[in-house]
Amino acid sequence: MAKQVWLNGELVPAEKAAISVYDHGLLYGDGVFEGIRVYGKRIFKCATHLHRLEESARSIRLVIPYSAAEITGAMRQTIDANCITNGYIRLCVTRGVGTLGLNPFTCQKAGVFIIADTITLYPKEMYDNGMAVITSSVMRNHPAALSPRIKSMNYLNNILAKMEALDAGVMEAVMLNHLGYVAECTGDNIFMVRKWDGRTTLITPPLHAGVLEGVTMNTVIDLARSTSIPVVHMDLSKHDLYTADEMFLTGTAAEVVPVTKVDGRVIGDGKPGPITGRLREAFHKLVANHAPED
151 is annotated as an active-site residue = yes
What's the mean pLDDT when you consider all of the chain?
A: 96
Question: What is the reported pLDDT for 290?
Answer: 78
Half-sphere exposure of 39 (CA within 13 A, CB side): 18
Q: Please, what are the domains in the chain? A: 4-117 (3.30.470.10), 124-288 (3.20.10.10)
Contact 3, 117 (CB under 8 A): yes
> In this structure, are residues 241 and 247 in contact, taking their beta carbons and an 8 Å threshold?
yes
How far apart, in whole angstroms, are the C-alpha atoms of residue 276 and residue 129?
12
Structure confidence at residue 120 (pLDDT): 86
Burial of 262 (0-12, 13-18, 19+ CB in 10 A): buried
Q: What is the CA radius of gyration of the chain?
A: 19
What burial letters (b/e) apply to 109-141, b meaning 16+ CB within 10 Å? ebbbbbbbeeeebbeeebbeebbbbbbbebbbb
Taking a C-beta distance cutoff of 8 angstroms, is the pair 182, 237 a contact?
yes
Q: How many CB atoms within 10 Å of residue 84?
A: 16
Which listed residue (151, 162, 195, 261) is catalytic? Answer: 151
Span 180-187, mean pLDDT?
97
10-31 tens-digit pLDDT: 999 999 999 999 999 999 999 9
